[in-house]
Chains A and B, each alone.
Chain A
Amino acid sequence: MISTEFEYARPKTLREAVRLLGRHGKSARILAGGTDLIGWLRDDLVKPDILIDIKGIGSLGKLSFRQNMLRIGAGVTITELTESRAVRTHFPLFVEMAGMLACTGIRNRATVVGNICSAVPCCDNGPVLMVYEAVLQVTGQEGDREIPMSEWFKGPRQTALRPGEIVTGVTVPKPAGRHAACFAKLKRYRGEDLAQASVAVLRSDSICRVAFGSVAPTPVRAPNIERILTSRMPPEAALEAAIDAIPKETSPITDLRSSKEYRGRMLGVMLERAVKTVASRLEGSGPAYGVNVLDDYTADAEGK
């Protein structure tokens, strides 16, 4: 039961949504899937005067893949994303991550864009969109602009979005050439949980991208680790050096879900398993996308 009182608008066009947002400013909240927002309303964590429901704007519900570019509209749910043939074929990392994000009943409602707009440090889409080097499309009364994922998160629950702006979608370029990826999520058990820590690794012949979740005020890329992993060091040595570099890239804390010590220790395990899994996937022998290498790790067993 929500006791905070607010009005509700369901604009049919983006223009109307922007106009409404301009009129109400900070007292308006955008409603997409609502799986975070409605909980916050119930707990009186936010007290908007109006909710602007963007699910009536047809263009925002679109998911497309053209010219090696995936475009995820702001209304696209996690389920719609994972059911897309293009995503399953070209962006399996989303499928791997989504399988560990909440549960069907939430994924059917929650949106990809909403997840990163909530911008909690443990948001699972954060590290994945970062390694894909996705770009957000934003519109407001001042016009349109794009924000790369690397500049999106500004702090816990803080983003680069300015008052009056709406995120309309996110574009995700398909990595060039032969590539493979892995998302690992440390959870308190196999069931649904917020990440104690997470890591996404994406590799091709030319690039290596690594991002972490839940171990800093925001999801973070790890440029030093990426540099080490793409150096000319032998793979085992590079991995060891990369693990040694983790403390430079992250700042885990102790909270309800984990101690700093465990997070720190597990980051090494996670990076190792993710990197090895990516390597085996690149060779065509890795586990199917969708396993959590922290629960069911097979790269070792297969001789990698």
Chain B
Amino acid sequence: MKKHEITMKVNGEVRSVIVEPNDVLLDVLREKLGIKSPKIGCERGDCGACTILLNGRTVRSCLVLAIEADGCEIVTVEGLGETLTPLQQAFLDNNAFQCGFCAPGMILTATELLQKNPTPDDDEIKEGISGNLCRCTGYQPIVDAIRTVSRSGKSGGRGKSGRSGRPHE
């Protein structure tokens, strides 16, 4: 297998690394770049523990080859900032984690959700994080945490997304 040098902007810093085509992005982040917050949970996209932001959108880094990410921008929980984001603070305040293993992925997924929709209602929150499995909390404190941040936005929940099911012309 040919080796390739790829360059990514990882948590704000441009980093180059040598990879093989079959190297998975999750493994490269963890083993070659030392970024440990994306976790190995199922390695088939089911659990969300390996969630990262790739060019601003959450992806399962277990389902991305490292070489595909050449030239991309990656953000993990380590890169959210040196002080806690309001969302992280809300996770802390609400005990929105227990073992903590799903927390990095959950926080990134909720971060993207709130970027797209700053005032989600509970259904939208649940839908938004439904791809991230948590076995400890029963999710309620996570939903509570996200709702806290949601309410700190401009307006309250906006109700069920979309318009009513009118016919289309």
Contact = CB atoms under 8 A, between A and B. Distances in A.
B128 interface: yes
B150 interface: no
A192 B131 CA distance: 7
Interface residues of A, number: 53
Interface stretch (A2-10, A132-140, A211-219): A2-10
Interface in B94-142: 109, 112-113, 127-128, 130-132
Nearest to A77: B57
Contacts of A55: 68
Contacts of A177: 169
B85 interface: no
Q: Kindly name the residue among B21, B43, B163 whose own CB sees the greatest number of chain A CB atoms within 10 A.
A: B21
A86 to B, nearest CB: 12
B164 A286 contact: yes
Contacts, number: 136
B63 A34 contact: yes
A289 B165 contact: yes
B43 A288 contact: no
Given A99-B127, A108-B57, A284 B22 contact: no
Nearest to A41: B22
B1 A7 contact: yes
A201 to B, nearest CB: 13
A2 B67 CA distance: 13
Contact of B165 (A2, A51, A99, A288): A288
B37 interface: no
A287 interface: yes
5 contacts: A92-B162, A103-B132, A104-B113, A288-B163, A288-B164
Interface of A: 1-8, 31, 34-35, 38-39, 41-42, 51, 53, 55, 79, 88-90, 92, 95, 99, 102-106, 108-109, 175, 177-180, 190-192, 277, 280-291
Given A104-B131, A106-B45, 10 more contacts: A79-B57, A92-B168, A105-B59, A178-B167, A178-B169, A281-B166, A283-B167, A286-B164, A287-B164, A290-B162
